[in-house]
Amino acid sequence: MIKKTFAWISILLFAIFAVYPLLYIISVSLRGDDAFQSQSLEIFSNTSTFKNYSELFFKTNFLLWLRNSLVIATMTTIISVALASTSAYALSRHMFKGRNLMLFSLLGTQMFPPTMLILPFYIILSRLQLIDHFLGLFIIYSSTALPFCIWQMKAYYDTIPKELEEAAILDGCSAWETFYKIILPISSPALAITALFSFMSSWSEYVVAAVILQDPLLYTLPLGLRSFQASLATQWGLYAAGALIVSIPVLILFMSVARFLVSGLTLGSVKG
Amino acid sequence: MKLFFSLIFLCQVANSLEPVRIQLWHQMIYEHRSVLAQSLREFEKENPDIVIQETYRETEELRSSFQAAAIGGSGPELVYGPSDQIGPFATMGIIQPIDDLLGQDFIKPFDPLATPEFLNKRYIVGASVGNHLMLLYNKKLVPRAPKTTDELIEMGKKFAATGKGNYGLVFNYTEPFFFAPFISAFSDKADNKEFSLELDVAALTKTFEFILELRDKHKIIPKECDYETANALFKQDKAAFLINGDWSWGDYKKAGVDFGIAPIPLISKTGKWPSPLVGTAGYSVNAKMKSERHKQATIRLLKYLLSERAQLFFTNKVGVLPSLISLRESDVVKSNPLLQVSTEIMKLGTPMPVIPEIRAVWDSLRVQYQKVLAGSSTAAQGAEDAKKLAESQIRDMNEVLQPDASALFIKILTLLGFLFLLWKTYPAFLSFLRGFQGSHKFVYYMILPAFIGIFTIIIYPFFFNIVISFSNFSLKTFQNFSIVGFQNYKMVLMDPQFYSLFLKTVVWTLVNVVFHVSIGLFLAVIINQVMPMKSFWRTLFIIPWAVPQYITALTWRGMFNQEYGPINIFLQNFLHLSPVQWLSQPMTAFFACVVTNVWLGFPFMMIVALGGLQSIPKSLYEAAYLDRANAWQRFRHITLPLLAPVMIPAALLGSIWTFNNLNVVWLVSNGGEPGDQTHILVSYVYKAAFNLYRYGYAASVSVLIFLVLVIWSLSSLRKQFKKEQKA
């Protein structure tokens, strides 16, 4: 009994810790112009208004940014899932010279301070004439998301017994058919996570987009949100409202794949 | 054949009929942007052959993006910004002199303040003049503005006494720009109308003491006050006086504050007026033009934007002071009482310096001053250190490293290294290529696309940085850097600051990862074993992971705010503690960063742990139960060892991410505040590269970070491999 009470208390405390910042964003987004810095702890008060939301949707290019972000995040997700699922499979199933080096260099890509990569990114893309093109962002986003995706897909494939493929080959499947018809379907939890991860990283990425997209009509949500944040005059209400709406699709996505998350996120496997 | 040529000709004609697209980057505040847009659309209507695309960029971002764009050989034709950005831009050679482009006569009708000189050329023409600080007073709370600081203190105290949470004076006093006006007023030297690079230690000490007195002795300014807080307090009638610039008027008018303006009061002790910096915000022209047509179009646009018509339009709409002298006598200016007073205040001002070195002065002032405010340094010591730091930063910024003997050595070494690598990897590479024809070609085709992507996009930047780390790439060698040898590395490794930052980064990583893993594990075990509705709790705890990082970071910064942050309000209202100045003390600011990052990172570990827990067979626990093992023993001997293979790679990845997490530290501590005391290595790199233009130095620190992480992960992976072999 004591144990249960302790568990409940601690989990409720952590729940407050986890949820409160989101509630705080909600409360700021509902405050009117003059009261967004206020000394009350109430989330909703009688001055709450949806003014910021209506302004966001009707007076700014918010819907355009939303569309751009959706296009970019979706394309990045498709590319990353396609490339990560195939190359990770090869890395998991086939031993060849330099495989470990390849695996380690994947991890290595996460080690260089990312801020210093922006300038060279810009140089590459401007040589390729891809500044102000979504294609440039697809390339950068999917290749920066790939290392983690490949690592985690490979770890998942490692847990699938090899006997499955051997049986499939005996039944007359080609290597591609085995992968496509047998392995991919049972890897759906890991695929869901790869998709989620690449969607999320491109959905909320800001720094690279800021350098590559110069045309306001191509702005993504994070860029749009930042424009409410002038050096000395931030539109906090609009910013909070926008921030909340940006978080919602990711939250929904997370909830819909939550059941896969637990079984799919394998970075190493338990030997049971 | 003839037909072919005429086709080409036709295409060219068609091409030239298409409107030219001119890009303009600006950093105008929200209210000014719509005025600019209207003005530009008007221009497009009259000039159908030109299309203008205006892009808003935050000041610092405009600077770094424009630099990046210029290296890449493109960028906007026109840049609009404050005059102090022309120093670095002109030094880098990425903007061109306007007097060469338009001639001296064009410049004459402008206020000299709007056309500051840099290296005998004019690189900017201001569209408005001002940007200076003044005293704003709320007419509802106080009848008039004070003449002297003694009067200010007296009036301020009187108002502060009227209610809890009321302040006499508020302003963004941690920013050097906001206290700079006082420095000259405390100086013993005769008034010279120039902001000197050499800091006056005596005057600076007195200025620091003055601000400390306002805060601690007279208690008329809040203990912690950033721009937003000052703004909000003034708007909510909780502050009688405010020091702010002319750009802020529109905001207060919109909020319905009845305010007046006056010069910052005369310093009673010295009898001198504080001298605000007066600058301009205006247009500069990119040094590279895409074509002659672009150039002509840019000139036309520039002339339009600076014309009487466009300036009057702006003055009418947002009340800025026009830069054309002729317009000062116009009705719009004459009938605007604020502009009249503001013009008088401007006469007390000092022109805003435009040389790039000023950045180093601001930065060192900010760093040392914030240390003084946080109590980690005395006023006299801080002033002395600020002078020293400014000198050394100016030296670092201007230093052009010369190639030494090691430069040649590196070139040879690179060549040898390349050959060695080729020789070593040649067989593997060959066998890899051969694989495409072998029986497993399927496998090779599957790997190829992903690795092409990764290699081109990540490996090129990686080598680019290695090259830069051996070069003298900095402000002065922006367009023509060369390999100089190991000097950057030597500088980094000889600097004691590097080691203390390194230590701090290790502590930062360790603390974060320990919390991530332990909270994640704790929650996972509880959810898995005790709680009903597992999926509900699981989803709830994912929330922090789902919110984009930059939003999280700024939200937590808001929550730690001394005046309006819910954390302090909670402490005061429920625990009856005094508010904590989280963000202006080095330890608590670092604590704030850690809390934010812990919040961000534990869900990932929880999910990984939950996945691991699910695959532990229930029978093991049942057997342990029969053996009367208690909860702790079960955890210690079953859960922990079986989870380790799952958690260790996750923790390793987590430690790499945390080590390199710039977002949280930079955004929560607002770039290392207070006084550069919250930096970790990556934020230090960011600052060196983008604030102080020391790309070569920053790249060499980055390479060192990379090496440290490689060694760290290799050693921990090796342990893992050994364990697996034993098992």
**pLDDT at residue B505 greater than cutoff 90:** yes
Give the mean model confidence (pLDDT) for residues B672-684: 84
pLDDT in tens, B360-381: 888 898 889 888 988 888 999 9
CB contact under 8 A, B30 and A142: no
Torsion angles phi and psi, residue B469, rounded to 5: -65, -20
CA A253 to mean position of chain CA atoms = 10
The predicted pLDDT at position B1 comes to: 46
Any idea what the Cα angle at residue A95 is, between residues A94 and A98, rounded to 5°? 125
Give the mean model confidence (pLDDT) for residues B636-651: 84
Instruction: Specify whether the CB–CB gap between B115 and B124 falls below 8 A.
Output: yes
**pLDDT at residue A89 greater than cutoff 60:** yes
Q: Which residues of B touch A263 (CB under 8 A)?
A: 611, 614
CB neighbour list of residue B101: distance below 8 Å, 6 or more residues apart: B285, B299
User: Among the ranges A76-80, B99-103, B235-239, B466-470, which has the highest mean pLDDT value?
Assistant: A76-80
- State whether the Cα torsion A208-A210-A216-A220 is positive or negative: positive
What the block records as the tokens of B247 is: 């750009």
Instruction: Give the C-alpha separation, B638 to B617, whole Å.
Output: 10
Q: Does B63 touch chain A (CB under 8 A)?
A: no
CB neighbour list of residue B241: distance below 8 Å, 6 or more residues apart: B135, B136, B137, B138, B142, B145, B146, B152, B155, B156, B168, B169, B170
DSSP assignment of A82-130: HHHHHHHHHHHH---TTHHHHHHHHHHTTTS-GGGGHHHHHHHHHHTT-
What the block records as the tokens of B443 is: 């496998």
Instruction: Indicate the Cα dihedral angle A133, A134, A135, A136, nearest 10°.
Output: 70
> Which residue is it, tokens 């790309």?
B695
The predicted pLDDT at position A38 comes to: 65
The predicted pLDDT at position B264 comes to: 93
CB contact under 8 A, A231 and B27: yes
**pLDDT at residue A262 greater than cutoff 80:** no
The predicted pLDDT at position A271 comes to: 40
Give the mean model confidence (pLDDT) for residues B154-182: 89
Residue of chain A whose alpha carbon sits nearest to that of B247: A232
Shortest distance, CA A28 to any CA of chain B (angstroms): 10
Give the mean model confidence (pLDDT) for residues B124-132: 90
Q: Does A117 touch chain B (CB under 8 A)?
A: yes
CB neighbour list of residue B132: distance below 8 Å, 6 or more residues apart: B245, B246, B276, B277, B278, B279, B342, B345, B346, B349
**B-proximal residues of A, 43-82, CB under 8 Å:** none
ipTM: 0.87
Cβ neighbours around B108 below 10 Å, total:
10
Give the mean model confidence (pLDDT) for residues B39-50: 93
Give the mean model confidence (pLDDT) for residues A67-95: 90
pLDDT in tens, B49-95: 999 988 888 888 888 888 878 777 778 899 999 888 898 899 888 99
Instruction: Give the C-alpha separation, B629 to A1, whole Å.
Output: 18
**B-proximal residues of A, 173-192, CB under 8 Å:** 175-176, 179
Shortest distance, CA A261 to any CA of chain B (angstroms): 7
* DSSP conformation class of B503: H
Give the mean model confidence (pLDDT) for residues B642-648: 83
Torsion angles phi and psi, residue B351, rounded to 5: -65, 140
**pLDDT at residue B576 greater than cutoff 90:** no
Single pTM value for the model: 0.84
Of the listed ranges A61-70, A102-111, B269-278, the least confidently predicted one is: A102-111
Q: Where residue B707 falls among pLDDT bands split at 50, 70, 90?
A: very high
CB contact under 8 A, A266 and B646: yes
pLDDT in tens, B110-126: 998 899 988 889 999 99
CB contact under 8 A, B248 and A98: no
pLDDT in tens, B170-218: 999 888 889 889 988 888 876 656 677 788 889 999 999 999 999 999 9
